[in-house]
Structure 1
């Protein structure tokens, strides 16, 4: 990898495309991003709000990712330091939403990619009519705070041991300089919006599921005594990508034997022995949205009686929780449905985590307040872990909440014990 040399002025070439992958892949359109921003403007009720993309730059491993709230509102995933400001009371409707981008730096862009100049093309791509450089942000925000007197926090609340959110940090500075300024809590707004998936978002997640299914099928062809967890993980991820995925939604988990009992085991380097269970927890990402699936397989091609006993308990528990998913249900009620089955089977202390979580742009997506609503997608993933027996079973599906109940998006990846045994026999 080349080391950074002293800066030289570079000739300008074609700028990198800053359109988010969703649009290019037929997913989220600029019109939908604009509608999301309009909902934020309405919900702010006259207060000024802002969302930061976050700082950073192109890493040598992986890729830079913006704050998910920022990506959700703009579709921009390659502008570190960017900020979007909402001013519902702006006299000029074109300035109700202002996107601030860091100043152009031709010398830096030689390393990280050429950026397009601010103009009509860029504004049309993002469907944002006011775009400025961040050098003007503080002056603009000070003026808005003085006139509106109301600021609203949109970023997630930080824990007591973490730095406060960037919007609150800036608002506090303004409150020391402007008399009568109020700071309001709107931190639940964006999780609530992100929680209910549009048809376009659902379509992207279904594509991520389809790519994931191809990866699981590829992994089944590798599982056997004598292989390595790394062999399975490699086949899995290659299967995702061959099926059109952009990559993985999170670090895959492939654990055999004792490793199947480690909830977030990610080393994925260990032998697979005869009689082991192999737990795979992985999901593909497409257009910025991911799947999250877990299946448990017998390495020898057939469950032992004890493995089958535990497996059927977990499957029964999962089916009970899936049946409890519907609009108006709470996640604790869905958790209780699984826990009753597992406790009745005598494994109460072996189910050590909650039943699931929201899924979307992040594998552990923003958690809306309140009960489930149609359009939300959650994971259902009970498990039983018995380290003394080197036996861990988890089964996880992605469930879309519908108007009348639910739809299992990942049902095509078989979890029936007999079907799994048949598939492993090839």
Structure 2
């Protein structure tokens, strides 16, 4: 990318450039610089870039530019643009990024996803909106009930297309795309371009321009990758020590049961932690993310539903408590740290029986981690997660625990314990129903809305 490249030189309208500047965004990322000229020209675009590479504005800017250049009266149940995404969290984050651009262009939008009542969504669609940002399941439901049609859609965008394929969404995506006009512009963005994505490209994109930047399978240079070889007995003590250090940490597990168990064990050890997995209701998931964002619980224990689409600033540490099965999952999990030019550390905890699997995993992911045999007294832990360990007590999902706070631990129990202090008891967030339409490793689909 040329050093004099700016949003203006790429063709972004001045009003949108100003809206970006107000958010502190002044320099295009590689994927934005590559795709914006073609997307703004109305061409179909296939873009590949890793999570966190700036794909959202790469499609939002041309979308808003086109709709604002062709003003028309809003019609009930007939949106002019459709954005499909695989998870509720990603839908919400796209809407947040869109909001300042839409206000500038006087456009309206509506999120559509399951797990919540459809009444407000139906009312908004009936009033007429320009842009619908949706999960496929609920959108199909509302179309089937006659609340909207897609025959007026001018621009269709698929975000995280490979993740939608992983979650089994492709049949629904194809049915929805079949309802949009073939003459409209279509943009597909993905971290990887697999066989399933190739099928969508050939069927629905017309002479697409392909751009690749920040490949998801390229190691991120600002990440330090470490493998900690531990015994089964040392696994929890090492994890407890790392998460008791200052800063936010995300701990990944393979199953919902493991996420719940590890969150409970950390809370019982005095480390405030919250869990995120497919058994939580939308309200519980919102409370979890509020606690994590605010610092009330600076450790998030999650299954792979958090590996995509959840953007949290200043995550110091990603810990694979359970090494993932696939190298793509490793890359996407790890992408929760070292975002927006920041540095970060990625730690994989490895038991004796996992040595071969972890070796294969890291090789396929294209990284060469530092492997060290450790226990909870090993000095490397203080290097990986520097700072004084604190054990203020387990996170309790009380109203005051979800309020904004400062510091590493802002949980319900403010007292500090020393590293050798006795742990405090804790409760964990209540479980509920799963998300947009999510499935996890070894777990079947739970919610089809």
**Do both proteins adopt the same fold according to a TM-score greater than 0.5, normalized to the shorter chain?**
no
The structure with more radius of gyration: 1
TM-score, length-normalised on structure 1? 0.29
With CA pairs under 8 Å and 6+ residues apart, which has the higher RCO, 1 or 2?
Answer: 2
